[in-house]
Every structure is written in structure tokens, then in C-alpha cells.
Amino acid sequence: MDRREVQASVKDERLVEKRRDQMIKGAITLFKQKGFHRTTTREIARAAGFSIGTLYEYIRKKEDILYLVVDRMYDQIRERLQEDLATNLGTVESLKLSIAYYFREMAEMQEEVLVMYQEAKSLSKDALPYVLNKEIQMVGLFENVIENCVRNGELDLDEKQIKLFAHNLFVEGQMWGFRRWALQKVYTLEEYIDLQLELLFYGVQRKVNQGTGGER
Amino acid sequence: MDRREVQASVKDERLVEKRRDQMIKGAITLFKQKGFHRTTTREIARAAGFSIGTLYEYIRKKEDILYLVVDRMYDQIRERLQEDLATNLGTVESLKLSIAYYFREMAEMQEEVLVMYQEAKSLSKDALPYVLNKEIQMVGLFENVIENCVRNGELDLDEKQIKLFAHNLFVEGQMWGFRRWALQKVYTLEEYIDLQLELLFYGVQRKVNQGTGGER
Amino acid sequence: MDRREVQASVKDERLVEKRRDQMIKGAITLFKQKGFHRTTTREIARAAGFSIGTLYEYIRKKEDILYLVVDRMYDQIRERLQEDLATNLGTVESLKLSIAYYFREMAEMQEEVLVMYQEAKSLSKDALPYVLNKEIQMVGLFENVIENCVRNGELDLDEKQIKLFAHNLFVEGQMWGFRRWALQKVYTLEEYIDLQLELLFYGVQRKVNQGTGGER
Amino acid sequence: MDRREVQASVKDERLVEKRRDQMIKGAITLFKQKGFHRTTTREIARAAGFSIGTLYEYIRKKEDILYLVVDRMYDQIRERLQEDLATNLGTVESLKLSIAYYFREMAEMQEEVLVMYQEAKSLSKDALPYVLNKEIQMVGLFENVIENCVRNGELDLDEKQIKLFAHNLFVEGQMWGFRRWALQKVYTLEEYIDLQLELLFYGVQRKVNQGTGGER
DNA sequence: TATGAATGAGACTTCATTCAT
DNA sequence: TATGAATGAAGTCTCATTCAT
């Protein structure tokens, strides 16, 4: 249930891997520029460095390329995230570092993320679940880390709060990219990260609540 | 700078208004179902109740329809929001009510919002700024209300915090729709609203914070 | 169950009729030359005198053209046949005249018949029954005439013999066309007709049979 | 003039023979199912048990395969026919047996015959004569046997009658296959054979003609 | 002002054939 | 001799847009 097969005519798996790599790279560049629908299969083939005939040796339909691209993006993001989260200590401090790390990663891949967000809906009813599943898995990574904090007594959240918190921070990571036309005019990335962390952890009413104590 | 002209061949302005109304209504229905690219101009004409020839009397290019649709959606959302925010008292309690109201509105228009999010990028470089401007205006509405709260001493936030807070709550309103595949399985809308308000205002560390006092 | 609909986008029925006429005429010419598979839709459009876009306003798929062509051919043949058979008197003499008439008709349409025979199998499982049904109807026309002869005491045949006789003469009409590479080198059409009539009515053993008694 | 050369790159004749055997067998299966045009060279290669590259070591063009297939079919049919006709005694009784034998053979090979009939026209102008020649030879086999009967005084037919009689019975053998959608619903094969023999030898007017004498 | 038939560029996809290994 | 990856011409079909009526 984890990976949808995209059929290739070519048998040599190493070659399939290599050609699809070229294909995906070319396609991402193009999708970034003009989106999936305005990109032609021939352009993708050319960008990948081979002929249209060859392209179709490695996929069945144009949509397969989109799936491959989105799939690849998720894998890349998750890989990096997983790597980082592995070192997480289950403290709030550590969690903040991970979130900041994630925000930076997403900032770096903002164009890819944009493609994902705008084109994923073009995937067939067939492929969509696989993709959504990947996103759920990624949110799950954060949920785990937050749970650890809760278990360690560093945070006091129930199941539903954990989940929503994870979703929020996940979306905020993407926000930097998909609302760049607004955010990037006002904030530097580091500013954005700092401010978001503050809001995520303390909300807007912290000072009022705390009554006495100033903080930070 | 507020409204891009879409040229019509027909002169009678009242008629233009009426036909575009029909057109937009039809188009929204179709865009919801199949997205902009998969919807043909003929289908839009039919859904609008007139012929393809007539359609082109009121627009110049297919993209114009998308612009008209997105434009209309923004206007609708803003209208309702403006109406509500007008009654806002500048207290935290009042702000929470407005946010909750906004969340419910967005939940009701979630499909329209989805269309906006997924298709807006299909607008030409020409039309995009107009649309983004509308979104900025809407966020601005919230900024104003929050500023009021700050002015009233109910919140303690600087300019940049206000802006980001507004963006966050704005996006969270949309989130209910564009992440429905995950959120709507777990939360009811009212649950979602309650939890988000909690996180927006108190963050995740509130209880720990409140508990003893100083932190970090 | 008698006629499969081929969908047209154009509403004006008279125009549809006219354009399909052009289309069928062009297609027949081309199919005669190169067969269905080697004829492109663009060639058909050009031969019909309009653009490829227009062609597809009057059909849905290339196969529709083949169906239309075959359908038309059957109708033409049946029309002429029906007209002739209407005058049939139910005597053997009259039957022979009708058969001769049919043979001549088929000789005239031999290329069309060839197309029918060679391309009909390219029709989808969907369309084939309609076409076969037409052929059965045509054979039925002859069956009726033969039955008349039987009823009039001019022939003594049971149901199954009638049917097979009808099939035979039907096929022999087509044979002149589809085996022309052999037959037309040896016989003139009239010779062919005379000889076939002889064989159909008296078989090869007549003379031996006659032995004693003269006949005819 | 008897066999057209199909060029092979491979020199080893025994190997060529073997590979073509595999090829033809695979191709026949496929042609039966989907016809020549809808069958791809790759499918043929796979069905033959080797690669597309290898396929092209033994032929030059796709059409060569069709030629080979049709050629093979004719040879098979002729072989069996020749074998049977060799034992023919030159009597009407013996002729009837041979015809019945031939009808049964053709019934068994009806799908092959169908392929031949529907696809032969796809052969190039170059290859067609060779194929037609084979058919003429086969008809010739029957002509000879009939001639024997005539020489033996069992039948009284001139040259042209003999030829046409041979063509007729030849076609009637194929008819069982190519009109199976009509015939096989009404007759059993043996019924069909009996009825056809009756018609071939005595025609439809025998009983009336003969008035008194029973026959057969 | 309304219509809808006509257009043709251009999209996707297939597949016979080649050729380096 | 065998392989199968690569090629690109060519085919079918769609659809935004125009324009005569």
C-alpha cells in the first residue's frame, strides 16, 4: 500500500532508475516554470535528454511523470526529516531545533513544494491516496517527536492536540513557500522561524496570561 | 490597481454583468469537479446556459473566466468577513468569535477555496498580482482587528507578530478545506475550531508556563 | 436494434447528413485504395473537403467512419436489391432474372464489397452485430423470393435448403469481386452469370440425371 | 515464381527455418485474436519466444511475417488436400468424399482461413501474386479431380464449367468459416456438407425437373 | 446580440525499425 | 547470433478561438 507501481517497458532496473532520475529532474524544472498541464511530454523528454519514444519506455502515461515527481519529492523531504528527527531527544528544546531545521529544509525546497501543492490534485483518483498517505506519514514523524516530549513531561497535550499541533507546524513549514509573495517581503527566513516558534509554543496571549513574568 | 479589466464585446453593461454571473456560477461548479484545465470552454458555456459563441462575447480568453471566478470568490469571502469584523469590539473575546466565524465560513466555502488554491497559479503573470492583492487585503482585515486588541491592551504584539498571527489564522481557516482528507477524519469542525483557538492564543506550552511562572 | 447511433457534435441534422455524405464518399475512395488501417483520418478529412477538426464534429472515433461506410454500402445494395425483388413474380424464371440482376449490381459495386469484406472485421465488437444483421436481412430478401417459388410449386426445397441456397447465391454475387483475380481472367460477367445460374439450378450432374428425360 | 524470398540476416538455414517456425506459430495465434494490424512486432517476438532484435534477424519488415504466415497456411491446407486427392478414383462418389473431406479440413482451420481472407490484402503488391498463385494451384487440384470424372464419363462439363465448379466448392469450403455467424447457428457441419453436396451436384431444380425418377 | 460550425495547432501515445553491445 | 534500449515519424483526437449568419 506504500508505493504505486509505474510500469516501464525497459527491464534493466538500474537503467530505469537512472532514466527516471533524468526525467524527474527535467520535469521538476519544467513544472516549476509552467505547471504540469502546460508542460508537454516532449518538453520533458527533451529536458531529460532523450527522445519522446524513450520517455515512453519508462512510463505509461503523462500522469505517471507527475506521480513520479511528487513521489520523489516526498521521499526527499521525508528522508531529510527522518534523518534529523532521529537525533531528537524528546525535549522541547530539541523539538524546536527540529522544527527550525524542517522550516529551513522546506524553504530550500519551496518550489518543489509549490509544485506538489498545485499539481497533486491532477493525479488520478488512483494515485492520490498513495501521495496523501506519504504526507500523513510525514506528519506522523512529528507526532512521534511531540509525543516523546509529552511522555517526558515537557509538554502537556492530549492525542488530538498533538495531531493538530503537528499539522500546524507542518503547514507552517510549507507556508513560507506557498505564501512567499506575502511573507518573504516582510520577514527573513530566520525571523519567520523565530516568530513562528514563539507563536507555536506560547500563542499570542502568553504575556497577558502569565500576568507577572516577562519572558524571552 | 484593484480590478483588472476583462474585455467584453458586448456594450450593455447590465447584460455583461448578468452573463458573467451565469458564466461564473457554471464555471465554479465545473472547476470544483474537474479543475480549470480539464474544464472546456464549451462546458462552461453550456453550464452557463448559452452558446460558446456568446461566451466569447463576454471574455477574450479562457483564462479570463478563471480570473473572473477567483475574483468573485475573493469578493464573496471578503464581503462576509468584512460584515462580521465590522462588529468586532477589539477584545480578545470578540476576536475569538470572529476567528471562529471565519473558520466556519471557510468550512462552508471549502470547495471554492480549494479551487482558488489549486488554480490560481494558472493565472497569467498579468492577472496574478490582482488576485494576490485581494488576499493581502483580506489578511489586512484581520490585522486591523488584532491591532485593535493590541491598542486596547488585550494583546501585546509588535507589527511583525500581528502580521504573522493574521497569516496563520488565515491559513488555518483554509486548512480545514485543503487538508480535509486528514483533518476531517479526526475532528469535527467545532472541535477543530476550539483546538485551533487554544493553540493560537496559548500555544503548546501554556500549561507548563502558567503552572509555575517563568520559563525558558 | 437496426441502426447504431454515431454521435455528432453538430446539431443540424441536414448538415450532419450532408457532411457525412462527403465523408463517406471520400473514405470509400481511400479505403478502396489502401484499406481502412492505412488511411489516416486527416486524409479522409481532406478527401471529404474539410478539416480534421470538422471531421471530428461529425464522428467520435475513426472507427465510426468505417461503420458509417459499411452501413451506407449495405443500405445502397439493399435498396437496389429490394427495388428489384419487389417486382419478382415468384417463378423460377423471375428468380433467375433477379439473381442475374443482383450479380450485375454486385459486379458494379465490387470494390465497395471488397472493402466491406476486408474491413468489416475491424469494427468493434460493439458495431459488428449491426452490420451482420444487415447482411442477414439481405440474405432474407432472397429467402423470401425463393420461398415464393416453393409456395408456387416451382421449386421443392425445405427451410434449410432455402436458406443455404440463398447464402450460396449471395456469396456467388460477391465472389465475382473478391475472386476477380481468378474469375475475371477467365469469364466475362455474363458468362459468369449464365454458368452460375446453371450450376445453382441444375448442379453438375444434371446431364447425367437427364439421361433419359429432357428438361428445360 | 513459386516462392518469394524473405531475406534473413542469419545464415544458418536450419536456424532460420526453426526461428521462423516459432515466429509463424506465435503470429498465427495473435493474428487470429487481433488481426495483422493490431498485432505488434514485439508481441510476435514475445509469442515466438525471442526478442524483437532477434525477430528482425529473420525478417526485413513486419509484412514479411504476414507473408510467411499466409504462405505457411496455404502450404498446410494444400498438403492435406493433396494427400487426400491422391487417393481419388475419378468417380463422382469419390469426388463427393473428397469435397466432404475438404469441407471438414477447412472447418478445422476456419480461423486460419479467416486470417488469410482478411489480411491477405495487406500484403504488398509485391507479395500478393505469390499468394494468389497458391490459391490458384489449390483450386487446380480440384479441377484435376473433376476433369478425371469428366474423362471417366461420370460428369459432363466443359472446361469453364469445371473451373467454376471448382471455385464454387472451394469457396463453399471457406464459407463455413467466414460466414459462421450465420451458418453455424443453423446447421451442423455435417448437415452443411450434405446440403452443399446436394446443391452442388443437383442444384435446386432437380426434383421438379426429374419429375418421376428418384435420384441420389 | 446570439449562434454554432469550422478551424488547425498541438497534445499524447504507439510502434516499426535500428544498432551498439 | 541475440538482445533490448533508443528513436522519431506518424497517428488519433481535443479544444480554444474565430467568424459568417
With respect to residue C174, please indicate whether it lies within any of the assigned structural domains. yes
Instruction: Mark the nucleotides of strand E covered by protein, meaning any atom under 7 Å from a CB.
Output: 1-20
Question: Which of A165, A183, A212 has the CB atom closest to B167's CB atom?
Answer: A183
Which of A98, A73, A99, A77 shows the shortest CA–CA distance to A86?
A98
Protein-nucleic contacts, chain C 103-142 to strand F, CB < 7 Å: none
**For residues D42 and A77, which has the higher predicted lDDT (pLDDT)?**
D42
In a domain, D25, yes or no: no
Q: Best interface-test mutation with D: which of C96, C152, C164, C186 has the largest number of D CBs within 10 A?
A: C164
Please state the pTM of the whole predicted model: 0.91
pLDDT at position B206: 64
The C-alpha cell at B152 is 486596547
If one counts the domains in chain B, the total is 1
Query: Which is more confidently placed, C120 or A185?
Result: A185
- C134/C3 Cα distance (integer angstroms): 9
Rounded to a whole number, what is the distance in angstroms from the first to the last CA of chain C?
44
Q: Which nucleotide is nearest to B15 (CA to C1')?
A: E1
DSSP for chain A, please give it: --------S---HHHHHHHHHHHHHHHHHHHHHHHHHHS-HHHHHHHHTS-HHHHHHH-SSHHHHHHHHHHHHHHHHHHHHHHHHHT--SSHHHHHHHHHHHHHHHHHTHHHHHHHHHHGGGS-TTTHHHHHHHHHHHHHHHHHHHHHHHHTTS----HHHHHHHHHHHHHHHHHHHHTHHHHHHH--HHHHHHHHHHHHHH-S-HHHHHTT----
In a domain, B55, yes or no: no
Nucleic strand F under 7 Å from the C-beta of D33: no
D52: the nucleotide nearest its CA (via C1') is F4
Protein residue with the closest CA to the C1' atom of nucleotide E20: D53
Residue C208: closest CA among D201, D198, D145: D201
- Domain-located, residue D2: no
Across the interface, do D121 and C121 touch by the CB < 8 Å criterion? no
Q: Please report whether residue A204 resides in a domain.
A: yes
Asked whether strand F has any atom less than 7 Å from the CB of D216, the reply is no
Lookup: nucleotide whose C1' is closest to D16 CA: F1
Cβ distance C164 to D37 less than 8 Å, yes or no, reads no
Query: Which chains border A (3 or more CB–CB pairs < 8 Å)?
Result: B
Taking an 8 Å cut-off on Cβ atoms, the answer to whether B167 and A161 are in contact is: no
Which ranges of chain B have pLDDT less than 50?
Answer: 1, 208-216
List all residues 6 or more positions away from C206 whose beta carbon is below 8 Å from its beta carbon. Answer: C215, D202, D203, D206, D209
Could you tell me which chain D residue has the CA closest to the CA of C93?
A: D205
- Using CA atoms, how far apart are residues C208 and D157, in angstroms rounded to an integer? 10
Of C12, C202, B135, C131, residue with least CA distance to A178: B135
pLDDT (tens digit per residue) in A167-183: 999 999 999 999 999 99
Mean pLDDT of all residues belonging to chain B: 91
Chosen from A204, A209, A215 to mutate, greatest number of chain B CBs within 10 A: A204
pLDDT of residue B210: 45
Q: Check if residue D54 sits with its Cβ under 7 angstroms from strand F.
A: yes
Closest-CA distance of chain C to residue D210, Å: 7
Residues of C in contact with D169 (CB under 8 A): none
Nearest nucleotide from residue C51 CA, by C1' atom: E7
Question: Which among A38, A116, A158, A164 is the top mutation candidate for probing chain B, defined by the most B β-carbons within 10 Å of its own β-carbon?
Answer: A164
Nearest 5°: the CA angle C2, C3, C5 is 150
Find and list the nucleotides of strand F having atoms within 7 Å of a protein beta carbon: 1-20
Contact A80, A106 (CB under 8 A): no
Q: ∠A116-A111-B63 over CA atoms, to 5°?
A: 70
CA separation for the pair D216, D213 (Å, rounded): 10
Q: Is residue B176 part of a domain?
A: yes
Contact across the interface for D192 and C164, Cβ inside 8 Å: yes
The confidence score (pLDDT) of residue A213 equals 41
Cα–chain-centroid distance for residue D156?
A: 27
Nearest-nucleotide field for B49 (CA, C1'): E2
Q: Do chains D and C touch (3 or more CB pairs under 8 A)?
A: yes
Point out the residues of chain D with pLDDT beneath 50.
1, 208-216
Determine the pLDDT at residue B212.
42
B177 inside domain = yes
**D202: chain C residues, CB-CB within 8 Å:** 202-203, 205-206, 209
B186 with A160: Cβ contact below 8 A:
yes
CA dist., res. B35 & res. A204, Å (int): 38
> pLDDT value at position A207?
52
Residue A112 lies in a domain: yes
DSSP annotation of D3 reads: -
Residue B16: CB partners within 8 Å, gap ≥ 6?
Answer: B8, B10, B58
Whole-angstrom Cα distance, residue C175 to residue A27?
Answer: 58
Dump the DSSP string for chain B: --------S---HHHHHHHHHHHHHHHHHHHHHHHHHHS-HHHHHHHHTS-HHHHHHH-SSHHHHHHHHHHHHHHHHHHHHHHHHTT--SSHHHHHHHHHHHHHHHHHTHHHHHHHHHHGGGS-TTTHHHHHHHHHHHHHHHHHHHHHHHHTTS----HHHHHHHHHHHHHHHHHHHHTHHHHHHH--HHHHHHHHHHHHHH-SSHHHHHHHS---
Residue A127's domain is classified under what CATH number? Answer: 1.10.357.10
Per-residue pLDDT of chain C (216 residues; tens, 9 = 90+): 456 789 999 999 999 999 999 999 999 999 999 999 999 999 999 999 999 999 999 999 999 999 999 999 999 999 999 999 999 889 999 999 999 999 999 999 999 988 888 888 889 888 999 999 999 999 999 999 999 999 999 999 999 999 999 999 999 999 999 999 999 999 999 999 999 999 999 998 865 444 444 443
Identify the pLDDT of residue D2: 53
Pick the closest to residue B68 from B130, B111, B10 (CA basis).
B130
**pLDDT value for A3:** 65
Determine contact, residues C26/C42, Cβ cutoff 8 Å: no
* pLDDT at site D3: 63
The predicted structure's pLDDT at residue D208: 45
- How far away is chain D from the Cα of C16, in angstroms, using its nearest Cα? 30
A209 phi and psi angles, rounded to 5 deg? -60, -50
Q: Give D57 CA → E19 C1' in Å.
A: 12
Contacts of A160 in chain B (CB under 8 A): 186-187, 191, 195
Sign of CA dihedral A176, A178, A184, A185: negative
Q: At A105, which amino acid appears?
A: E
What span, in angstroms and rounded, lies between the C-alpha atoms of C118 and C34?
A: 11
- Collapsed DSSP state (helix, strand, coil) of residue C87: coil
* pLDDT at residue B122, rounded to an integer: 85
- Which domain does C74 fall in, by range? 63-211
| Tens digits of residue pLDDT in C153-191 | 999 999 999 999 999 999 999 999 999 999 999 999 999
The answer to whether B50 CB is within 7 Å of strand F is: no
Rg (chain A; Cα; Å): 20
With a 7 Å cutoff on the CB, does C46 touch strand E?
no
Residues of chain D contacting residue C196, judged by C-beta atoms under 8 Å apart? 164, 168
Q: What is the pLDDT of residues B78-106, one digit of tens each?
A: 999 999 999 988 999 999 999 999 999 99
CA atoms within 13 A on the CB side of A117: 25
Task: Note whether B76 and B56 are within 8 A (CB).
Answer: no
Tell me whether chains B and A touch (3+ CB pairs under 8 A).
yes
Q: Which of C178, C86, C64, C195 is nearest to C131 (CA)?
A: C64
Q: Are A164 and B199 in contact (CB under 8 A)?
A: yes
